[in-house]
Chains A and B, each alone.
Chain A
């Protein structure tokens, strides 16, 4: 990637000579160059978000800063804001930032795809994700790994084929959290919802999915239905 004169040729003391000079060539070039570079940086950030979104991996602020030379704390906010506007206007993605401090982002899809347009959401991995999230939800937010493997097995998903997906990919994608049960021998894990699952899916959605699996209307899920209703009301209030 070649850049025309990336050095800042600005003269720091605006001498009288410079000010009275007409159209100093390097001064004319310089603002235009900065704009080109900024646009290019925005394009890179947009592409980075789009590519990471396909893998559903969160984007870390530090990785964006290291992406292209010229990104600094100063222009970071501007660039992110432009990328955010573009991603929403053109693709229908909402840029969501977790945790001001550590700064990582995901894209949330706002676009409803027509039914006859097949989409990534219909993949097997997504089904397994929903099954896992449902299992956790139905277990009041925390479930042991063996129960999850059993459930998947019964439904035809062999645990040995999908263990990496659940314990590795879903965790990296912030969909689920795992923690080792202290003093468990052999070591066993508990699963809970990850922060991405919390913002991307509503409890109602997951409950509706579970309802289909169990053949039982969502309203009959007692306390869990109440939780889902509460969440809806809280969202509306915001």
Chain B
């Protein structure tokens, strides 16, 4: 049922709603991230469960969180993912030599760019949900330096990719779970919220 709704959502409404657009981009990112992970595993001969553990730190999920908080949590996580990804790319190019334009590098770049696009949309959603005052998520405490040992570096990069993949999935799930009013009419929802606050 949800799939049907999603597919219907890829119709004309999609282009008109930021949330639906964000969800579509998140799905796209998830698809590209899966390809990237596959490529990386193939390149490094890593098993699927070679690394685990969270690199992104956000408040724990709770059913008590309202839409704005959910969006903020997602946006914060995705921001951290982008920072980590940028750092990982820089580190890889720094350690392993840059300038290569292979399939992996293209896919990595595409994931990074797609993540940026997703962030634009989640930022818009957050902006719509939170009003004019946007709370910028903090990147403090994020482990951006990365390890220096090559294997650990590889694992670190892999974990970053997995984090992107994970939070992309979370984004999809979260956006699909948002109230339809917000998904379709964020601007009107905002105004309604304001009026409610008053």
A, B assembled together: no
| B interface residues (Cβ-Cβ under 8 A, vs A) | none
Chain A residues with a Cβ under 8 A of chain B: none
